[in-house]
């Protein structure tokens, strides 16, 4: 059920390694927080530089980026076309959003338990049914989703 080779890129399934940000320039990061309520004067100065790869990939050698297709995770803030950051070195736990391989196809769902306590893959959209873990077909948890990046 858990990944065995964190370096397996599964290139044939459209998964890219962490090097997606390699060599990218660092971007300015202002230490001042931006209020989402009332306006305030901007600080107007760069306090340090931000490298997104270092920020998003805790374990770069085991981190992969994938594009989401579909809206089954919309209520978890993951939409069609979003970029997800998946860490294969993290042991999945109940409640985690994971990428699972089901009969050779990837899906992104939350690890959960049904009413009887049996593990399931659960969508974050009521239009989708739970997928029982360990029943029908071959299922393995490929990695844990750590970040979702989407356009505003």
**Confidence at residue 152, expressed as pLDDT on a 0 to 100 scale:** 86
pLDDT level of residue 2 (50, 70, 90 thresholds): very low
**Confidence at residue 21, expressed as pLDDT on a 0 to 100 scale:** 47
Please tell me which residue, 86 or 104, carries the higher pLDDT value.
86
Report which of 78, 87, 95, 88 is spatially closest to residue 148, judged by C-alpha positions.
Answer: 78
Mark whether 27 and 75 lie in a shared domain. Answer: no
16-20, 33-37, 56-60, 88-92: range with highest mean pLDDT: 88-92
**Confidence at residue 28, expressed as pLDDT on a 0 to 100 scale:** 59
Report which of 63, 91, 105 is spatially closest to residue 4, judged by C-alpha positions.
Answer: 91
Mark whether 29 and 100 lie in a shared domain. Answer: no
User: In the predicted model, is pLDDT for residue 63 greater than 50?
Assistant: yes
> Average pLDDT over the chain, rounded to whole?
78
Q: What's the pTM value of the predicted model, to 2 decimals?
A: 0.70
- Domain end, chosen from 31, 56, 81, is at 56
Residue 12, domain member (yes or no): no
Planar angle of CA 53, 59, 64, nearest 5 degrees? 65
Residue 8, domain member (yes or no): no
**Confidence at residue 17, expressed as pLDDT on a 0 to 100 scale:** 42
User: In the predicted model, is pLDDT for residue 128 greater than 70?
Assistant: yes
User: In the predicted model, is pLDDT for residue 90 greater than 90?
Assistant: yes
Mark whether 152 and 77 lie in a shared domain. Answer: yes
43 with 34: CB under 8 angstroms? no
Phi, then psi, of 55 in degrees rounded to 5: -75, -40
Host domain of residue 146? 60-152
Report which of 75, 76, 101, 78 is spatially closest to residue 88, judged by C-alpha positions.
Answer: 101
Mark whether 50 and 69 lie in a shared domain. Answer: no
What are the residue numbers of the active site?
72, 109
The CATH number given to whatever domain includes residue 70 is: 2.10.109.10
Mark whether 102 and 66 lie in a shared domain. Answer: yes
- What mean pLDDT do residues 35-63 have? 73
**Confidence at residue 52, expressed as pLDDT on a 0 to 100 scale:** 82
């Amino acid at each position: 059920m858990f990944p065995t080779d964190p370096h397996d890129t599964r290139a044939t399934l459209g998964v890219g390694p962490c090097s997606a940000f390699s060599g990218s320039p660092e971007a300015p990061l202002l230490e001042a927080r931006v209020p989402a309520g009332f306006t305030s004067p901007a600080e107007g100065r760069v306090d340090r530089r931000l490298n997104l790869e270092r920020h998003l990939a805790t374990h770069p050698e085991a981190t992969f980026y994938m594009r989401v297709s579909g809206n089954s995770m919309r209520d978890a803030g993951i939409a069609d076309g979003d970029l997800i950051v998946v860490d294969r070195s993290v042991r999945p736990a109940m409640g985690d959003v994971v990428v699972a391989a089901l009969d050779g196809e990837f899906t992104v769902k939350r690890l959960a338990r049904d009413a009887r306590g049996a593990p399931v893959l659960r969508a974050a959209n009521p239009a989708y049914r739970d997928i029982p873990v360990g029943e029908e077909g071959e299922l393995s948890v490929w990695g844990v989703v750590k970040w979702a990046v989407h356009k505003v």
